[in-house]
A and B are shown apart, each in its own frame.
Chain A
Amino acid sequence: MAIHSKIAGSVLVITALSLFGGQPLSAQAHDVDVAVVVQSDTPVSNLSLAEVRKIFLGDRQYWSANTPVVLLIRAPVARERDVVLKVIYQMSESQFKQYWIAKIFRAESASAPKVVYSNDMANELVTALPGAIAFIDSHDVRPGTKIVRVDGHLPGDAGYPLR
């Protein structure tokens, strides 16, 4: 009887966690803002969404005369990539690929954005590569990097556009 009541209790707890704990956690994960992150000594702290778009379209290629922009973007399926394609590029996955092939071979850009496979890798490369800029889940941003305001907003602010 005691064992049965323990099992029943466990089932109840698991069910309750699934219903009231799991769902909000999952929803919360989808609501996390995507931060625009640069190396701490990159001379930028606030960009408009249009400027972020210009940078990620490869139309602005230099932070300063000596510091080229190095674009980092998550590999397909990552939520950060989905947000970037939807909000910044406003393109589908195939349009994005075609865009960069055309861009490079129009001689407008020497290379496409570098693909990163995790937020850890994005953090690491932003720290290591001068001029690097990446989109990282705001919960995963490591100290030593700099979060750029977008349209004056930081991740978590009302009106922050990258979510």
Chain B
Amino acid sequence: MPSRSLSLLLVLVLLTSAALFAQSSPPSADQGQSNQALLERIQQLETRLSEMEERQRKQDAAIAVLLSSQGTAEKTAQVSMPAAPATPATAATPPASPSGVQTAEHDHSAMHDHAEVREATIHYPSLQIRGFGDVDFSATDQKGTTSGFNLGQFVLHFASPLSAKVSYFGELSLTAEPSTYDVSVERSIIRYDYNDYFKMSFGKYHTPIGYWNDTFHHGAWLQTTISRPEMVKFGGTFTPVHFVGVLAEGSIPSGGLGLAYSAGIGNGRSSLLSKAGDSGDINDNRAWVASVFAKPSRLYGLQFGGTAYRDKLTPLPGLSVDEWISSAHLVWTKEKPEFLSEFSNVYHRDLQTLKTYNSQAFYVQLAYRLPWQENKWKPYYRFEYIHRPNTEPVWDITGTSSVLDLVGSTVGVRYDITNYAAFKGEYRNTRPGVNEPRVNGAFFQTAFTF
């Protein structure tokens, strides 16, 4: 029995020695290369793991700082704790037991949650750019006009929150001219929000007179029809489209009536009546504007309000005119139906002759989003009217009338081919002046945003 044990021990010793010898013997060239490659691979993975851990630590720290800076230190601690930086031990521990599996899953879930929080947290500045464009075709029976295509405005809108309470908005348009493109800063606004009741901004605006001018900016896709009403058309002079200055706006505590206001002071019309005084006012008199409107909560979609605007115009040396504009609007913004109506009276008083002049304009637009074919069709009709005195010191300043005594009807349809592009076709019948022959026209447009 001892001899048997001894022989067994000998065999074991021999086998162990052989194994040790085999391990200590120099590897072949191929084995050496493989081992080296494996070592390098392990080193790469270790480096990568360290980098990922470091990145995770930095991201968690950044989130904690961000959230705590917003007054939520307590919450941050709660949220950050589950995703505490994975220690090498945790990361390297294989999921050998159910608790190990749970830990790994928990870490993964926490990391995922943190990624979501990171993505949802607003970073400042956070620039959003949206472009608008349109291509148009027009044909009318008005003498001296030609039919054909034209490239509409190419518009870029910019919106960028600069902090939780400060934001910037900009609008740039490029309009095709016979030999070049006219580039214009249409809006440039920096706004500080104190709360819902008081927001103050500075810059260049679309003057908040009435509804259309403050709601539909450049970018034909935003509006139902191809064109704006004559009384608020870009390049028109009936009401000042732009305003440079300071504006306060906000809600008025009014329960279900949903009142809101805006009030501003700034440069009114420049010597070119259709333009605002971007580079400075034309006189020492500032224009001011004040408006109040209501959105009753019981009638979701309804809005009505009024505006007053005052300025002193000095379009030519020796000509000073007081300007008062009063405006009212009533709209139903749901699309089944959509109803827009707006009225403005422009009062001018020549300060030399003391003569007064009143001009009125209004439009009524009705549209309906049809329920068929995925609500893509929206027929519409608009009636518009402008009345002006035969002689007017402001409208006729250049020798040719910049405001026409006009009656017009527009009937058309909008087809939204996607959420971001639409075709529009419309027929217009217009009487552009007293005793002038009526003009018929067909207009087509594809408008889009991108």
Contact = CB atoms under 8 A, between A and B. Distances in A.
Interface in A81-107: 90, 92-95, 97-98, 101-102, 104-107
Interface in B14-71: 67, 70-71
B169 A105 contact: yes
Contact of A127 (B71, B78, B217, B335): B78
A52 to B, nearest CB: 10
A90 B300 contact: yes
Interface stretch (B88-96, B112-120, B263-271, B316-324): B112-120
A64 B72 CA distance: 15
A124 B295 contact: no
Contact of A102 (B120, B222, B416): B222
B71 A66 contact: yes
Given A68-B164, A110-B159, A130-B71, A50 B256 contact: yes
A125 B159 CA distance: 24
Given A66-B71, A130-B72, A110 B419 contact: no
Given A66-B71, A105-B130, A107-B189, A53 B161 contact: no
Nearest to A115: B120
Interface stretch (B141-149, B192-200, B349-357): B192-200
Given A105-B130, A130-B75, A125 B117 contact: yes
A54 B78 contact: no
Nearest to A94: B419
A53 to B, nearest CB: 6
A111 to B, nearest CB: 6
A59 B79 contact: no
A114 interface: yes
A48 to B, nearest CB: 8
A53 B297 contact: yes
A60 B252 CA distance: 11
Contacts of A93: 419
Contact of A124 (B67, B116, B258, B335): B116
A68 B165 contact: yes
A128 B67 contact: yes
B167 interface: yes
Contacts of B214: 106
Contacts of B416: 94
A3 B251 CA distance: 75
B375 interface: yes
Contact of A121 (B116, B196, B251): B116
A163 B171 CA distance: 40
A127 to B, nearest CB: 6
Nearest to B116: A121
Contacts of A92: 375
A107 B159 contact: yes
B121 A107 contact: no
A65 interface: yes
A119 interface: no
A124 B76 CA distance: 12
Classify chain B's interface size: 35 or more
Main SS class of interface, B? mixed
Given A94-B416, A110-B159, A54 B195 contact: no
Nearest to B128: A104
A124 B164 CA distance: 20
Contact of B117 (A61, A65, A101, A128): A128
A102 B218 CA distance: 11
B121 A60 contact: no
Nearest to A64: B195
Contact of A130 (B70, B160, B375): B70
A41 B74 CA distance: 11
Interface in B155-185: 157, 159-161, 164-165, 167, 169, 171
A111 B122 contact: yes
Contacts of A68: 164-165, 193
Contact of B217 (A62, A90, A98, A106): A106
A61 B159 contact: no
Given A53-B300, A129-B121, A62 B196 contact: yes
A127 B77 CA distance: 11
Interface in A11-59: 39, 41, 48, 50-51, 53-54, 59
Given A68-B165, A104-B128, A62 B121 contact: no
A144 B214 CA distance: 42
A39 B117 CA distance: 14
A141 B157 CA distance: 38
18 contacts: A59-B251, A61-B193, A62-B196, A65-B195, A68-B165, A94-B419, A105-B130, A105-B169, A105-B217, A107-B159, A111-B161, A116-B116, A116-B120, A124-B79, A125-B116, A128-B75, A128-B79, A130-B67
Given A50-B300, A97-B420, A107-B169, 11 more contacts: A50-B256, A59-B251, A95-B375, A107-B187, A111-B126, A116-B120, A121-B116, A124-B113, A124-B116, A128-B117, A130-B71
Interface of A: 39, 41, 48, 50-51, 53-54, 59-62, 64-66, 68, 72, 90, 92-95, 97-98, 101-102, 104-107, 110-111, 114, 116, 121, 124-125, 127-130, 144
Closest 9 CB pairs of A and B: A50-B297, A107-B169, A110-B161, A110-B167, A105-B157, A94-B419, A65-B195, A128-B117, A124-B113
